[in-house]
Amino acid sequence: MMDEANAAGTESACLVEARAGDATDHSSNTPPDEMARMGEEIIAALKTVYDPEIPADLYELGLIYKIAIDDDRLVSIEMTLTSPNCPSAAELPGQVRNAVKAVSGVHDAKVAIVWEPTWDPSRMSDEARTVLNMW
């Protein structure tokens, strides 16, 4: 799981969690190397989705809060927006879902918009800060 994917002031390092299909404690049926590959490719796919008003991708902006991959290779994404009044609120979750679904091995993806924790510029990576000249 990618908790707090872009924690305040950090670069785009993340954790991708393999989530068991039920509440029991057992390991994923997906081999660890396959899980790592999928995680890296999911992040790469997320980096192709841009807020149309900001020249930085959603991942580097720190808008992706959590990524979880379950045993059925369903990817769950929790993300936020820069503002509840974001004019792209209707399009961005679909773009994120489509980008993630295109990753080899992903069977489906679902995206949830969350408002806690509230997004602020401290969540951006150094790459996003450089692109936006926010030093």
The pLDDT of residue 28: 63
Structure confidence at residue 135 as a pLDDT band (50, 70, 90): confident
- Cβ neighbours of residue 20 closer than 8 Å, sequence gap 6 or more: 26, 27, 28, 70, 71
Superfamily of domain 30-132 in the CATH hierarchy: Fe-S cluster assembly (FSCA) (3.30.300.130)
Q: How far is CA 43 from the centre of its chain?
A: 7
Residue 40 pLDDT more than 50?
Answer: yes
* Better-predicted residue by pLDDT, 73 or 27: 73
For residue 13, CA distances in Å to 9, 52, 126 come to: 11, 24, 11
The domain limits of the chain are 30-132
Whether this prediction's pTM lies above 0.75 is answered by yes
Structure confidence at residue 22 as a pLDDT band (50, 70, 90): very low
Structure confidence at residue 61 as a pLDDT band (50, 70, 90): very high
Q: What is the pLDDT averaged over residues 61-83?
A: 94
